[in-house]
Chains A and B, each alone.
Chain A
Amino acid sequence: MADRSKLTFYLLLAPLLLWLVTLIILPHVGMFIVSLREKVGVREYETSFANYAVFFNEPLYWNTFARTAYMSVASTVLTLLIGFPIAYYIAKLTRGRSKTTLFLMCLIPFWVSELVRTFGWMILLRETGIFSSLLQYVGLADAPVEMLYNDAAIMVGLVYTSMLFMVVPLVTTLDSLDDSLIEAGYDLGASGIAILREIVIPHAMPGIVSGCIVVFMLSLGNYLTPILLGGKDSLWFTGLIYSQFITRFNWELGSAFGFLLLGLSSLIVFVGLKLTRQSLGKTMAQT
């Protein structure tokens, strides 16, 4: 009997283990080994940290690295600031049908592929695009305005792409906040801001943190949006990894970059969790 239930347990676990081992662990082990190889001649390799040394000795690489990090953090913060009022409105101020409709409206853009959505932004923002034409028509600009290929365009694209992943966990946690707690706050003399600070945000913290983690990871690992909206000067770290692997056939350096990016995202998530005094297990279990 006990053997039977054990067997069921392992059978159910098998797909997850298969996925983890073949798609996550094995490639990473392979990549790590590749990243430690230094090419010394034709088909001659030595084990060393030379690839990592290249990264630290070349300012372009670590500047790009730092830029990717702070742009991702900025887009996460911006997504949170825009997403929170939306989530609060959906969770607390609407009921029944309008709630479902609003939720669906957040979801609908994701029925279209990311590529098409990003092209949508390009149609709006390019020199001959809708915004530029509109500004000229109204008379606010006398020549075509190029709004693509700058940091603001990248930011817009990143926030837009990851909005849903912030709104969903926030709606879930805010939904679980009992309305009477907010009323009790008012009843005890608190202002709207005090209630937000002392009741709503502490309650929504697990949702905020898990939304931020997901959005940060998505931004950091995003390739399409920064390249398309930021153009050649986007200087996104995933772009560097891509060019090492595909353009320069330098798998060794590409692997090293990949590992550095993994280390960076883990570090920032860890620091974020420590700062908000949340644990990963707790946040993931609650949303």
Chain B
Amino acid sequence: MSETPDLECRDICKSFDDFRAVDNVSFAVPQGKFFSILGPSGCGKTTLLRMIAGFQKPTSGDLLIKGRSVVDVPPNKRPVSMVFQHLALFPMMNIGANVGFGLRQRGVNKTDVKKQVERVLERVGLGGVADRAVSSLSGGQKQRVAIARCMVLEPDVLLLDEPLGALDLKLREHMKIELKQLQSEFNTTFVYITHDQSEALVMSDQIAVMNRGVFEQVGTAKELYYEPQTAFVAGFVGEANRFAATVEETGDGTLTLRTDAGRMLTGVAAGQGLARGTAAQVFVRPEAVRLSRAPQDATGNAGEGTVQSVLFNGANSQVLLRDGQSGAEISVALPQTGEFRDLQQGDAVHFCWSPDQTRVYADG
């Protein structure tokens, strides 16, 4: 027996005049999962979230929560809660009143409200702050109050609209882990939207990559990273070197291509429509490229280049190489084994990467 998903969207569309913000999006989120919608700004993810919350009405399509259509249910009657981008804590109330707001609207009596507020605040690690003003909290604490304010209502689905965007980097890293912990503790379905891929990759069970109103791919973080299905996903999730090329020869699964700059490459077809002579885009991750001082076995895609610059950033350091043959620029993750610690601008190095990690998509 398959369980009813907590949230299901069926062919949701939303148009503003001529502009189609959300185009035929369908997905289902099972109970207790952390689902992220990842996309650049303006891709329609906020519109989608606002439709789920009820602030906007879909032009067409259906929205089901626990199997029940909620398209005609106003936002104050939907069993979903939302954590806003800037949290939207009520500055005119203290923390306890903020968290208890939803319960009071339901007509829960005062002593029960007080009890439940205290309990949920303790669960988010903020016991005993109910009488303090919102402004007395730090950014991360406000975040937890905003979540507590929603969770006290025990919603079927919690929506989060880039809530980490306003925090500084250190705190954001910390809150990522904390959010994930809170989610598994409350065992509530989270729908999280963000433009920050690392937030989505770290926290999510399932990620949908959205672009121009459509879902490009839905999958786990690993699937998106290792097997992107479209050129957009390959370019958006993780870093990638991108080459424009033409298909020269097709074999069983492998392709031989010539880049526009003139280098021959072999790779695997990751998309459809890659016949001989078609224009294609080739993606290679910087961390898939192996560096060496001496020439390597010429299996796969190999060559020699000079170091253009070393972008040192601790564990995420990168080297920019200029390919000696084609003159193309290739970005390579700097191995942190110590071997290349003294790598300098102008050094000659050999590089190679395997055809398996050379993903080819039809251009267009």
Contacts and interface: CB of A to CB of B under 8 A. Distances in A.
**A and B found bound together:** yes
Interface string B82-117: 101110101111000000011001100000000000
A129 interface: no
Interface in B223-254: none
A203 interface: yes
A28 to B, nearest CB: 38
B147 interface: no
Contacts of B341: none
Given A186-B75, A187-B75, A188-B153, A202 B92 contact: yes
Contact of B55 (A183, A194, A199): A183
Contacts of B85: 180
Contact of A185 (B53, B80, B101): B101
B85 to A, nearest CB: 7
Contacts of B322: none
A189 B81 CA distance: 9
Interface in B29-85: 53-55, 74-77, 80-82, 84-85
A21 interface: no
A191 interface: yes
A191 B82 contact: no
A187 B76 contact: yes
A142 interface: no
Given A178-B86, A178-B88, A187 B81 contact: yes
B14 interface: no
Looking at chain A's contact residues, the main secondary structure is helix
Contacts of B53: 183, 187
B82 A187 contact: yes
Contact of A181 (B80, B90, B149): B90
Contacts, number: 62
Interface string A142-182: 00000000000000000000000000000000000010110
A231 to B, nearest CB: 46
A188 B97 CA distance: 13
A180 B92 contact: no
Nearest to B79: A189
Contact of A184 (B54, B84, B92): B84
Nearest to A201: B92
A278 to B, nearest CB: 13
A36 B82 CA distance: 66
B106 A189 contact: yes
A184 B77 contact: no
Nearest to A199: B90
B84 A183 contact: yes
A214 to B, nearest CB: 23
Contacts of B91: 203
A194 B105 CA distance: 8
B105 A190 contact: yes
A198 B102 CA distance: 12
A183 B90 contact: no
Nearest to B78: A187
B90 A189 contact: no
A128 to B, nearest CB: 52
B52 to A, nearest CB: 11
Nearest to B84: A180
Given A183-B75, A186-B76, A198 B101 contact: yes
A185 B85 CA distance: 15
Contact of B88 (A180, A190, A202, A203): A180
Contacts of A190: 76, 101-102, 105
A183 B46 CA distance: 14
Q: Which of B77, B80, B101 has the most CB of A within 10 A?
A: B101
A187 B158 CA distance: 11
A265 B75 CA distance: 46
B105 A191 contact: yes
A187 B54 CA distance: 8
Nearest to A195: B76
A183 B105 contact: no
5 contacts: A178-B88, A180-B88, A187-B54, A188-B101, A190-B105
Interface of A: 178, 180-181, 183-191, 194, 198-199, 202-203
Q: Which 9 A-B pairs have the closest CB atoms?
A: A188-B102, A184-B88, A202-B92, A180-B88, A189-B105, A186-B75, A190-B105, A186-B76, A180-B84
Interface of B: 53-55, 74-77, 80-82, 84-86, 88, 90-93, 101-102, 105-106, 149-150, 153
Given A184-B82, A188-B102, A199-B92, 20 more contacts: A178-B86, A180-B84, A181-B90, A183-B82, A183-B88, A185-B90, A185-B101, A186-B75, A187-B53, A187-B54, A187-B81, A187-B82, A188-B150, A189-B77, A189-B105, A189-B106, A190-B76, A190-B101, A190-B102, A198-B93
